[in-house]
Chains A and B, each alone.
Chain A
């Protein structure tokens, strides 16, 4: 805050009245990226829930308490209780680890696959590149959810299948993006200059093209984590992902579906958590993206 105050006073003309500079400071304060701060704070809470859920939970997530089943949100049970009287808030907290691991895992699988496909489509020798390019195009015609369902139909529902399925589903879109990035880096002036200087092809690829083309991937990964969590929970919601005894968020949704009439919170609250996580990942991803773009200039 002291740094901010000093820049304000130097920016204001000498002799300017204090209220004007205070207003400037206020408007600068209002323009700070509060959305980003909120996202980072929420991400920290999520990380804590994933690493040490006992610190945040108020109840044992598995303790049955039939007399208190299907109670709405209250002081003692912040998110209400489920059909066996288990505390929904504690279940959500304990579900964070599995849900986030599935999201991170799926995003990693998706990006690595996309990287392999996208960079070989852009950099391999002509006939191979054309084949990979077509393959990406073909995979892209299957909507992500359907590609994921196809894989689940073959190998049966489980957490590992869910990670692979979501990764496979999102990969074609990212592969196309990576291919475009590499191709535009290939056509850039600095690559032309490096070629003119007589640098070898591997050196140009690894020292110039890849670092420039792949820089946006950091941001894309953050965006992808949010998306992957949504896709994965969709699969669990359909009963085709992690099965209900687990408190993975999608599984919570699936378990809550039967009680939608009596206990709507069982499905609204976990859904809200997933939406908040997705928004958090998107916000952080977008800020990273614009920070990277500013860095390039």
Chain B
């Protein structure tokens, strides 16, 4: 499996370099979209910023406007602002919030930990649910199979806000197993993480199930059975390994999906996090914060996909050759 000759290593290095380059192009594009989104506020920008701050639409005196123009450098040519913005991004500077008078990175930094914890826990839950469900139901005769894929489809299609509310009603209000709101400990994490995990598990199950059933027919499975291995052993030790590959490739996407799903889940469960900050920022039109969070999620998505891609190229040299 591992490449040995120097020429195949060179092919892999070339492939990895090409992927890196294309990731950089995509990131630059995302930053450009984000920058021009900030320019798109209707009307004069300095007036818009002042109105956003005060929550009232009114005419401003030149003195007020001059101060804002000075602070945000709005009088400079757009191209200079753009280059400045890009330079800032590379150094980890997302600009200043219109409303909170502080750097966007500070606002995100405070809240990012909570959201990342939620996201990663949800991904772990989704994997656990998916592996158990598929191993139990895939390739087990027509009835179980139909039930299995029906559950996959329904779970994948459940809107996060509704699932969250149902879990909240049943497990927090009805059974009182979990806190209703504001649980910051492990207990407060379980329901929000499940809300994100169930649709994700349904989505991943669909591709894993197809691969699982294909793998069950493979010669290596038949030979393992002939050596006297039990059904459970075959499923867990041989088939599962092959079946989860498509879901591994979805990891980057899953990270993006849970980070954006956090917007809804944090709102339902009143959890702190970048999702909650984003909703507040959108409703008050605090564009630097909105753009900062959206760009950050896009960056995470691109980097996670890049990582998955590179790991694949190294593990499976056939991909580099093709």
Q: Which residues of A contact B (CB under 8 A)?
A: 134-135, 137-139, 141-147, 149-150, 152-157, 226, 230, 233-234, 237-240, 253, 260-261, 264, 267-268, 271-272, 274-275, 278-279, 282
Contact = CB atoms under 8 A, between A and B. Distances in A.
A139 B298 CA distance: 9
A247 B256 CA distance: 32
A263 to B, nearest CB: 11
* Residue from A153, A157, A226 having most chain B Cβ neighbours under 10 A: A153
A147 B37 CA distance: 11
A142 B257 CA distance: 10
Contact of A149 (B169, B180, B278): B278
A152 B30 CA distance: 18
Contact of B161 (A157, A240, A253, A272): A253
B160 interface: yes
A161 to B, nearest CB: 11
Interface stretch (B83-91, B108-116, B128-136, B258-266): B258-266
Contacts of B285: 153-154, 156
Contacts of B279: 149, 238-240
Nearest to A156: B285
Q: Which 5 A-B pairs have the closest CB atoms?
A: A138-B29, A143-B260, A271-B162, A153-B290, A141-B298
Contacts of B267: 237-238
Nearest to A143: B260
B291 interface: yes
A279 B159 CA distance: 11
A36 to B, nearest CB: 14
B162 A274 contact: yes
Contacts of B286: 153
A278 B159 CA distance: 9
B37 A150 contact: yes
Interface in B191-224: none
Contacts of A156: 285
A282 B294 contact: no
A233 B159 CA distance: 9
Given A135-B29, A264-B173, A157 B283 contact: yes
B287 A237 contact: no
A279 B157 contact: yes
Contacts of A134: 25-26, 29
Contacts of A279: 154, 157
A141 B301 contact: yes
B122 interface: no
Nearest to A149: B282
A268 B287 contact: no
A268 B165 contact: yes
A139 B153 CA distance: 26
A137 B259 CA distance: 19
A232 B264 CA distance: 13
B260 A145 contact: yes
Given A145-B263, A238-B263, A271-B161, A150 B291 contact: yes
Nearest to A261: B173
Contacts of B173: 260-261, 264
A268 B164 CA distance: 11
B154 A154 contact: no
Given A278-B159, A279-B154, 10 more contacts: A141-B26, A141-B298, A142-B294, A143-B256, A145-B261, A146-B260, A146-B293, A239-B279, A253-B161, A278-B157
B174 to A, nearest CB: 9
B297 A146 contact: yes
Nearest to A227: B157
B41 interface: yes
A238 B264 contact: yes
Contacts of B161: 233-234, 237, 253, 271
B33 A138 contact: yes
